[in-house]
Structure 1
Amino acid sequence: MTSTTPARSAAQLTSVTKTFGVAPQEVQALRAITVSFNAGEFTAIMGPSGSGKSTLMHLTAGLDRATSGQILIGDTDITALDDAALTVLRRRQIGFIFQSFNLVPTLDAMSNIALPFELDRRAISPEERSWIDRLVDELGLRDRLTHRPHQLSGGQQQRVAIARALATRPDLIFADEPTGALDSRTSREVLTLLADASTKYGQSIAMVTHDPVAASYADRVLFIADGQLVHELRRSSAEEISRAALELETRS
């Protein structure tokens, strides 16, 4: 008989609720959500505008605080941390990839990649330098390291952003509509890179998207509606994801 080792959880939310405002005008953005993001798993989060998917991302990343419930990043309960400790945790254990790239325009590509270490006021170790060199080569950035963002194409800028997010080997990377500003060919390249980061490097990635094609690159797809998780698919085609999204929309 063979036994399987349970997947390590990069992040775990238990009965997490987020309420904005006060009665009678209060709005429940999230309603007792329980979900985990496993190491080495690429998860897409989908739902209509106002469904709660961005709130889920902000709470899990420690950018906002839950009204109730528990959120673990690795083994750390972030709901118990003060603002200073949350800042350090985000810097060291969470990576971000944005639609608008969010590169520092006055820094070259290498300096942008190394920015998390600069912000953390620590030197890059030899092991970390080796890891960054590997990322640079695999992302095809070796001959672009001295270029500033305005000298790079959109796809190259997003590759720099991916390298920056992966540089510290965080527990979890959030990608917020990462292909929204890219053409279809470059989008496919970036999504393939994200999928590779999951399968090759064991990176946990949670991607907020409205695009079924983007979601089809993920290992699983979570659907959120009215602040609740309402459906989940394992790896599926864009057509299957679109069909599920339409059925859920029709049902609501």
Structure 2
Amino acid sequence: MTHNRTDNGLVARVENLTKSYGSGSNLVTALEGVSLGITAGEFTAIMGPSGSGKSTLMHISAGLDSPTTGRVWVGDTEITSMNDSELTVLRRRRIGFVFQAFNLVPTLDVEGNILLPFELDGRRPTGDERAWIDQLIESLGLRERLSHRPHELSGGQQQRVAIARALGMRPDLVFADEPTGNLDSRTGREVLTLLRTASSTYGQSIAMVTHDPVAASYADRIVILADGRVVEELGRSTPDEISSLMLSLEGAS
């Protein structure tokens, strides 16, 4: 399947993005003039202190929230002017999500949760898609768990199901929001390794919001926000390098 990437190799981008809440003396600016591209096939971490705008940036990039000003593209599709139903279809077909809280449907078994995006799209997976899903199930160690409900799984297993669900339709882009936030450190490392493998082996584009320098060290590229602006970009870095940069930024603000 060809991914909807633009000529410049970007799978998503935002231009001069501003997001404000409230008005007058209660005006809060979450993002201020952010321009950023997410490169196809790359694992990007978006970092920043609490209140830096990183979650707002992700929500707007994924069409879950709209900007006050600025423009947003997924591939070559500008989504800024789309209505809710168009955005719903775009998210369902072209964007995958992995959340801190797993967000599995408790009444569905593992297989039902993995196939949910196809169900919502009103279709069954094609032969190629089914083969890909089987490969995901195998590589994520879920083969023996397919008939289990989420409450019968550990946190790490639930997050693997969420990853399989996010990758099943081969979306243009997967957004991961603090995906290891509810996991112990060993399980968290396994989940981060899976995300990195999805990017390096299968060419999956991933944008992960995190405040954790260890999680960010798995990414190819690290974008750091502070006070609603992009203040720094790094290539692959160690947790210590990321920590010291974050500390220096917090000292400066």
Please report the TM-score for the alignment, with normalisation by the length of structure 1: 0.96
* Letter in structure 2 aligned against 1:198: S
Aligned to 1:53: 54
Q: Residue 7 of structure 1 contacts residue 39 of structure 1 at CA under 8 Å; is this kept in 2?
A: no
Return the alpha-carbon distance in structure 1 between the equivalents of residues 57 and 112 of structure 2.
30
8 Å contact kept, 1:13–1:34: yes
The 3-state SS of whatever aligns with 1:133 is: helix
User: Cα distance, 1:49 vs. partner?
Assistant: 1.2
Let me know the Cα RMSD of the aligned residues. Answer: 1.2
Distance between the aligned counterparts of 2:232 and 2:36, measured in 1? 12
**Per-residue Cα deviation, 1:175-221 (whole angstroms, up to 9, x for no partner):** 11111111111111000000001001111111111110111000111
| AA aligned opposite 1:49 | S
Letter in 2 for 1:180: G
User: Do residues 84 (structure 1) and 68 (structure 2) align?
Assistant: no
For residues 194 and 212 of structure 2, the distance between their equivalents in structure 1, rounded to whole angstroms, comes to 17
Comparing 237-246 with 141-150, which one deviates more in the overlay? Answer: 141-150
Q: Matched residue of 1:114: which SS?
A: helix
The residue aligned with 1:140 is 141
Aligned-partner Cα distance in 2 for 1:49–1:89 = 29
- Amino acid in structure 1 at the alignment position of 2:132: W
Q: Report 1:57-72 matches (<5 A).
A: 57-72=58-73
Q: Following superposition, which runs of at least 4 residues in structure 1 exceed 6 angstroms of deviation?
A: none
Question: What SS is found at the alignment partner of 1:19?
Answer: strand
Structure 1 residue 93 corresponds to structure 2 residue 94:
yes
Tell me the distance in 1 between the aligned counterparts of 2:198 and 2:95.
14
Task: Supply the distance in 2 between the matched residues of 1:133 and 1:81 (Cα, whole angstroms).
Answer: 34
Tell me, what secondary structure is at the counterpart of 1:205? strand
Query: Paired residue for 2:17?
Result: 16
Q: Is the 8 A contact 1:53 1:208 kept in 2?
A: yes
- CA distance, structure 2, for counterparts of residue 131 and residue 100 of structure 1: 25
5+ residue gaps, structure 2: 1-6
For 1:105, give the aligned amino acid.
P
Shift of 1:24: 3.5
Q: CA deviation at 1:7?
A: 5.8
- Give me the whole-angstrom Cα distance separating, in 1, the residues matched to 2:15 and 2:105: 36
- Secondary structure (helix, strand or coil) at the match of 2:51 reads coil
Check if 1:124 corresponds to 2:125: yes
Amino acid at match of 2:233: E
Aligned residues: 248
Distance (Å, rounded) in 2 between the aligned partners of 1:251 and 1:45 = 19
Q: Partners in 1 of 2:28 and 2:103 — Cα distance? A: 30
What residue number does 1:156 align with?
Answer: 157
